[in-house]
Structure 1
Amino acid sequence: MWEALIQSIPAALALPSPYLRLIGADPGAPVGAIPAVGSAVPGFAVTDVVPSRSLTLAGHHHFSRYELRLTVERAPAGALLSAHTSAEFPGFLGWGYRLLVIRSGAHRVITRRFLEGIARRAARPPRA
């Protein structure tokens, strides 16, 4: 599951460049190789990693500061991947952005698709 998580991060968190520029996403460009602390994909930087167990990503833009913590745990059927997100939406514009992203349900749908994609990748047979 850990390898599937690491391999999925760049594509799974990819957002259109014009959108990232519009909101002022930081980090704004890829840095290094995930999962090294300090590495990044646009919008998310690795702030903490416990190999094979957890990965924490954080970022900010004009309307929000946020963190995504992904945890892999052993389970009877293999592994369990969980995600915990937190965010602050300062000011009036932050409040409006929160309505668009959180209250609309878009965040829940995107996070679920992200986790399902990682699960599909983990279920694939390894490449020869």
Structure 2
Amino acid sequence: MLVIGAVVIRVTDLEGQIGFWTRALDYVVREPVDDDFALLRPREGEGPAVSLDAHHSERVLPPRIHLDLYAEDQRAEVARLAELGAREVPWDRRPVDADYVIMEDPEGNRFCVIDAEGWTGWAARRLR
């Protein structure tokens, strides 16, 4: 059996991205931090780690993979993430009744903020 232990995000500004993602997810840094790598883990409870890997990577749009972040209060989380430096990504094919908002971190790594209302998966259950 396999489980996801960490999702790795390629970054340019390691310190800046540590600041964004620790605040965005309420994660903490596992010490020590290398010059080009940091592992972030949930402050409390369980969940996958996020590793930040400071190596050049070509940006591809649409990205081949992205994070789906579940939120109890989607509107409040989108606003909070924007205050941290994320930005909403407009997409003309997004359905009117979509339960997600596409965003990107300060370096352009995309993720979605999902309205957890009605979801029953482990991520949504963890929020309740």
TM-score (norm 2): 0.29
Q: Which has the higher helix share?
A: 1
TM-score (norm 1): 0.29
Structure possessing the higher relative contact order (Cα contacts under 8 Å, 6 or more residues apart): 2
